[in-house]
Amino acid sequence: MAEYEDMELDWDDEISDGEFNVLPRGTYDFEVLEFSRDRFGGSAKVMPCNRIIVKIRLESEEGLTNTINTNMFLTKKWQWKIAQFFVSIGMKAEGENVKMNWAEAVGERGRATIKIIEYNGNEYNEVVKFLPPKKKTTASPKWEIGDF
């Protein structure tokens, strides 16, 4: 079962303004929190199709977080974004074909570039691009042949 940063309110609870961070445009680490499946009815840019909505938590180096949803449309035209996502979380190698396994993605971590968009007078973060994992560097040994 997923661990949530949220909690249910009772009907008569006292409330405050809450907290909502819009992070500046940049590159951030993220964690996949959950996903849901639905059917997209279509638009001028995207045909009617299945859609996956992935909830990720972004975290800045200063410790600020923002939880956002990112839509991925299950069409050939949009498979680039799905491929970027699976490469980013280490479940796909670049250039490799792989079966999408959304359940296994929950809990995985990656990196993404985000931007700020405005919608209905409010600002939100949106994923521009999922990034490949950082290359691991191998440290050279501190000894040389003949040191034994």
Burial grade of 72 (CB within 10 A; 0-12, 13-18, 19 or more): buried
Query: Is 19 inside any structural domain?
Result: no
> Structure pTM?
0.78
Query: Is 109 inside any structural domain?
Result: yes
Query: Is 59 inside any structural domain?
Result: yes
Query: Is 15 inside any structural domain?
Result: no
Note down the domain range covering 85: 26-131
Query: Is 50 inside any structural domain?
Result: yes
Unique residue bearing structure tokens 């050939």 = 76
Neighbours of 125 (CB within 10 A): 23
The pLDDT of residue 2 is above 50:
no
When divided into structural domains, the chain yields a total of 1
- Nearest-angstrom CA–CA distance, 121 and 116: 12
pLDDT (tens digit per residue) in 10-36: 888 877 655 578 999 999 999 999 999
Query: Is 33 inside any structural domain?
Result: yes
Average pLDDT of the chain is 87
Helices and strands, counts by H and E, the chain: 2, 5
Mean pLDDT over 47-58 rounds to: 96
